[in-house]
Structure 1
Amino acid sequence: MSSELNLQREKTIDNVPISELRSEDKVKQILAEEEKIRLDHWYDSFVKLVHWYPKKIYPDKKERKFLLKLDSIILFYICASYFTKALDKSNIQYSYVSGMREDINFTGDDLSYVKSLYSAGYIVSMCVGTMLVTQSWARYLLPSFELVWGVLTFCGAAAKKADHIFAIRFLIGFCEGIAFPSSVFILSTWYKRDEIYRRVMAFSMSANLGAMFSGYLQSAAYKHLQGVHGLAGWKWGFIIDGIFTVPIALFGLACFPGPLQSRLQSTKKPVWWMSEEEYQISCDRQEQSGIDGSRQMDWKVVKKTVFGWHAHFFAAFWVLLNIVALPDGTAMPLWLDWEREHNHRYTVSQVDNYTTFQGVVSIVGQFFLAGLSDSYSIYPFLSFVQLCFIVSYSSLAAWDIPFVWKWICMLIIGLDTVNQAIISGWINRVCRHDSRERAFVIGYSDAVSQAMNIWTNIVFYPTSSAPKFHLGFIISTIAAILMLFLPILGKLLY
């Protein structure tokens, strides 16, 4: 086992020579060393949320400087890319309640169908991305696909009937499918155990900012650009989203380094802005944390992973996670739109703006719950989120509840991204010793859950059932209950 994990790199552990330890003891000791979280006081975990480069954790000035540079380029690009992904993905529901439904006869369960088509395209490219992200040239993969989905977003403004939107959304889903698994995998090759959760948290928060910004943008377009150059306000929303996306893709093509390969796989720095010394620092950090650098994918690894517990455990978790998250982007805007039509409570712009409050809840939740996962066990944070969902969804399933409480329950839906951030970091931690397994598990888990989304959107949350979604809220409650207890099994397996 010790040879498989390639753990023969430290001369001593706790001042005991490795040669004097039994094989099982070697593994346990080194795993414990890699799992170590560098905290002296309980409040250090809160300091780490805002101060990412403290001297007592990073005494080497060169390492601190390199980490700042790494975050300024890699983390910036991945967050900006995911921001545009969320921007381009979320605009469909905002457009739906801002005039698209009437202009192109987008009625019935068309919104549910278009979400399922997006998931279908997402699955196809995700499988491809999982196999290719470990390659040395993967640095061009994500930016190239982003450039294409940016162009496709522009095309949404030219849609004249529902079939056009169906085709465009399938293709956008295909291009965006590689974004999540590729980004999470690439982050895992550059950062240590007590650094990864905060980076995944920032990455995941960028999606919430993108979704929020999409609502504000669509609201502004509806107010100020309606009829400009003969285009409806919702069409201008697609155009502006594309304008944001394309330049970020071009920045990625120029600066994104892709995954860090192990020193054995490559002795050359991966990108022009990184010095040879910085590349050596990154390789040293990778080896100290027991992280296996990016390597070629082969079918033997796929076979081994398929028969292991990691892939299936996290796939089950991811399926439940997505079922819990199904109402996000659907339940609240359609409920507010129903209130606008039937009770005249809100305007179209208010529907767009108020929906973004879920994003605020999500950002705050991720900042504290996912951010603190770098310093503490993840299980209390996961359990707290599931308890919130159980209360929220069971209340919404009843539906006849006070109006203010219904608002609170709708806002709680925004916590679904906390699950995504924590579990993404969990996969990277558990599978850090084999980069190929790590890439496969990330992609496989998300692919299985998206395959489920193709039909769960239509069956559990059809647009025609809005705004009550009685069956959907019951199913999401059950999924949250299962997610509450599933970590116990994961703890035993690990």
Structure 2
Amino acid sequence: MAFSKIREYFHAEYQPGERKLVRKLDFFILSFCCLMYFTNYLDRSNLNNAYVSGMKEDLNFQGNQLNIINTCFTVGYVLGQIPSNLSLYYFKPRFFFPGMMLVWAGLTMVTASAQSPQAIMAIRFFQGMVEASTFVGTHYILGSWYTERELGKRSGIFTASGLAGTMIGGFIQAGIYKSLHNKSGLTGWRWLFIIDGLITIPVAVYGLLLFPDTPATTVAPYLSEAERELARSRVPPPQVPERGTFSLHFLRRVLTSWYWWGFVGLWCIAGETESFSSNALLALYMKAHPAVKYSVAQLNNYPTGVPAVGIASTLFWATLTDFLGGRRWLVGFFIGVTGVATAAMVLAAERDPASPRSTAVVFAAYYWAGAVYACQATFFAWCNDAMRYEEPVFRGVVLAGMNLGNNAVNAWWSIIFYGASMAPWFNRGMWAMIACSIALAVWTAGLMWKGRREDQRRVALEAERFAAGDDDHKGAEQVPEDKV
């Protein structure tokens, strides 16, 4: 029985021409979105790489100024969330995404000229505003093109590309430091910002030329008219007509819906379970190690194991939850266990801080903690799945609200619990991680229950309409048994 289910999953039935269409979508949509997110995270993570590669000493960083810079970025990121997603209704994605990329590429290269931490704070604030366009905007686009059966894997591949940017950023910085340090009068960490910005530009040009927008607006030359119609038919229509205006009535509807509070609350909690990785705690632990002096290459290369684990975990859980019919909530329980266990490992290692065994336990804990990155793809896919029958602008605002809520918490969370001056043990942060992980498991259970009740309500409503002979609504909200 299990074998037949696996066979069915990998040999799904397609409509005539649908398999070819999906291959085209994968090539053009995923290639651009993944490259865009790769450069996004490359530009974002290079600050931590630069910090441990000489920037701290060159610019005379004091106390928690690194965390304050990250907070400035987060504040800009929060302010840009909902405006960025709403902009997708007024500007075609193939213009909007590349435009934002060119702006953040320029800001990244300008960072190379910074002479003080305060200058970087200002640059990162504006960089956060423009980079807010990428993550939730792409999840909105993926939800517009892909079916529920296909969405998890694509979301996982997209998220993994960002982690690849984090991972490869360490190797790039190590290579730049070795080959370009003090070339043309610039230190290695300054060259990092210049090169990262240059890498972004050709990706933006590629998107401008070939990104297909949405099924309703696409004019991509590689899609025939029949394929465009097929793409529109694959995604179920919303329960209510899409509105073109953003009104107070619409805002009230959003803020009183369980989708908003359920999924925004989910990501506010789940996003903080990524704190070990997103705050580069392993690199800061190594920099402040009580017994070992690590080289610049080691400080950049050893932490790359964290996003590597994140990539493997993301792809595994995205594929598994697709295979299990969209049971994204499983990841919430896995992350709850992981967060409690890894924080407990670091707390235990602190008792004998200078021993080799303590160091091994801390490395193991931070590497394992990288697995929590799986929640990015699966939780945003969960929201896309749950809101598949809602109007697109509603879904887009909730997706943006998820990231907005999480980053609003991030703006102060990292300073309180993971300040650079708290290295190497971050004792307060370990207890915060345990609390967040337990809260995530509880919230996941509640959201899973609510989602099931909503599915039952929709099926019951559809049955009533069929019984009443309302042929106009037949199939409009029907939940398909065989998802492509």
SS of equivalent to 2:115: coil
Conservation of the 8 A alpha-carbon contact between 1:197 and 1:425: yes
Quote the residue 1:242 is aligned against. Answer: 197
Conservation of the 8 A alpha-carbon contact between 1:94 and 1:218: yes
Q: TM-score, normalised by structure 1?
A: 0.85
Please list the CA deviations of residues 157-189 of structure 1 after superposition, one character each: whole Å capped at 9, or x if unmatched.
Answer: 111111211111111111101111111001100
Q: Which amino acid aligns with 1:116?
A: T
Please show how residues 363-402 of structure 1 align to structure 2 within 5 Å. Answer: 363-376=311-324, 377-398=327-348, 399-400=350-351, 402=358
Quote the residue 2:454 is aligned against. Answer: none
Q: Cα 1:120–1:98, aligned 2, differ >3 Å: closer, same or farther?
A: same
Q: Are 2:395 and 1:444 aligned?
A: no
Quote the residue 1:407 is aligned against. Answer: 363
Q: TM-score, normalised by structure 2?
A: 0.87
Quote the residue 2:426 is aligned against. Answer: 469
Please state how far the C-alpha of 1:345 moved relative to its aligned partner. Answer: 4.5
Q: Which amino acid aligns with 2:255?
A: V
357-366 or 325-334, which moves further after superposition?
325-334
Specify which of 270, 279, 302 is matched with residue 354 of structure 1: 302
Please state how far the C-alpha of 1:430 moved relative to its aligned partner. Answer: 0.5
Q: Cα 1:294–1:191, aligned 2, differ >3 Å: closer, same or farther?
A: farther
Q: Are 2:386 and 1:430 aligned?
A: yes
Please show how residues 254-269 of structure 1 align to structure 2 within 5 Å. Answer: 254-261=209-216, 269=218
Quote the residue 2:222 is aligned against. Answer: 273
Q: Which amino acid aligns with 1:186?
A: I
Quote the residue 1:207 is aligned against. Answer: 162
Conservation of the 8 A alpha-carbon contact between 1:85 and 1:176: yes
Quote the residue 1:34 is aligned against. Answer: none
Quote the residue 1:489 is aligned against. Answer: 446
SS of equivalent to 1:43: helix
Please show how residues 20-39 of structure 1 align to structure 2 within 5 Å. Answer: none
Q: Cα 1:297–1:417, aligned 2, differ >3 Å: closer, same or farther?
A: farther
Q: Are 2:287 and 1:337 aligned?
A: yes
Please state how far the C-alpha of 1:298 moved relative to its aligned partner. Answer: 2.4
Distance in structure 2 (CA, Å) of the matches to 1:277 and 1:291: 25
Q: Which amino acid aligns with 1:332?
A: L
Conservation of the 8 A alpha-carbon contact between 1:225 and 1:236: yes
Q: Which amino acid aligns with 1:445?
A: M
Please list the CA deviations of residues 368-395 of structure 1 after superposition, one character each: whole Å capped at 9, or x if unmatched.
Answer: 1122111212233331222111100122
Please show how residues 9-408 of structure 1 align to structure 2 within 5 Å. Answer: 41-44=4-7, 48=10, 54=11, 56-58=12-14, 60=16, 62-135=17-90, 137-261=92-216, 269-287=218-236, 296-299=244-247, 300-328=249-277, 329-339=279-289, 342-376=290-324, 377-398=327-348, 399-400=350-351, 402-408=358-364
Conservation of the 8 A alpha-carbon contact between 1:225 and 1:232: yes
Identical-residue share of aligned pairs (%): 28
Please state how far the C-alpha of 1:237 moved relative to its aligned partner. Answer: 0.8
Q: Which amino acid aligns with 1:312?
A: W
Please list the CA deviations of residues 444-483 of structure 1 after superposition, one character each: whole Å capped at 9, or x if unmatched.
Answer: 1211111111111111111111111111111111111111
Distance in structure 1 (CA, Å) of the matches to 2:315 and 2:330: 15
SS of equivalent to 1:274: coil
Please state how far the C-alpha of 1:291 moved relative to its aligned partner. Answer: 9.1
Please state how far the C-alpha of 1:127 moved relative to its aligned partner. Answer: 2.0
Q: Cα 1:232–1:273, aligned 2, differ >3 Å: closer, same or farther?
A: same
Could you tell me which runs of 5 or more consecutive residues in structure 2 were left unpaired when the two chains were aligned. 353-357, 452-484
Distance in structure 2 (CA, Å) of the matches to 1:297 and 1:413: 42
SS of equivalent to 1:229: coil
Calculate the aligned-residue CA RMSD, in Å: 2.0
Quote the residue 1:19 is aligned against. Answer: none
Number of corresponding residues: 439
Q: Cα 1:76–1:297, aligned 2, differ >3 Å: closer, same or farther?
A: farther
Please list the CA deviations of residues 189-240 of structure 1 after superposition, one character each: whole Å capped at 9, or x if unmatched.
Answer: 0000010000000000001100011100001111111111111011111111
Conservation of the 8 A alpha-carbon contact between 2:108 and 2:197: yes
Conservation of the 8 A alpha-carbon contact between 1:386 and 1:484: yes
Distance in structure 2 (CA, Å) of the matches to 1:143 and 1:252: 6
Q: Cα 1:386–1:297, aligned 2, differ >3 Å: closer, same or farther?
A: farther
Distance in structure 1 (CA, Å) of the matches to 2:369 and 2:221: 42
Conservation of the 8 A alpha-carbon contact between 1:117 and 1:454: yes
Distance in structure 2 (CA, Å) of the matches to 1:326 and 1:252: 31
Please state how far the C-alpha of 1:91 moved relative to its aligned partner. Answer: 0.1
Conservation of the 8 A alpha-carbon contact between 2:329 and 2:448: no
SS of equivalent to 1:312: helix
Please list the CA deviations of residues 329-380 of structure 1 after superposition, one character each: whole Å capped at 9, or x if unmatched.
Answer: 42111011123xx423521101100110001110111111122111212233
Q: Which amino acid aligns with 1:41?
A: S
SS of equivalent to 2:223: coil
Conservation of the 8 A alpha-carbon contact between 1:134 and 1:294: no
Conservation of the 8 A alpha-carbon contact between 2:36 and 2:204: yes
SS of equivalent to 1:327: helix
Please list the CA deviations of residues 413-453 of structure 1 after superposition, one character each: whole Å capped at 9, or x if unmatched.
Answer: 21232011110000000111121211111111211111111
Q: Cα 1:41–1:459, aligned 2, differ >3 Å: closer, same or farther?
A: same
Distance in structure 1 (CA, Å) of the matches to 2:253 and 2:239: 19
Conservation of the 8 A alpha-carbon contact between 1:222 and 1:234: yes
Could you tell me which runs of 5 or more consecutive residues in structure 1 were left unpaired when the two chains were aligned. 1-38, 49-53
Q: Cα 1:440–1:297, aligned 2, differ >3 Å: closer, same or farther?
A: farther
Conservation of the 8 A alpha-carbon contact between 1:361 and 1:411: yes
Conservation of the 8 A alpha-carbon contact between 1:134 and 1:439: no
Conservation of the 8 A alpha-carbon contact between 2:282 and 2:366: yes
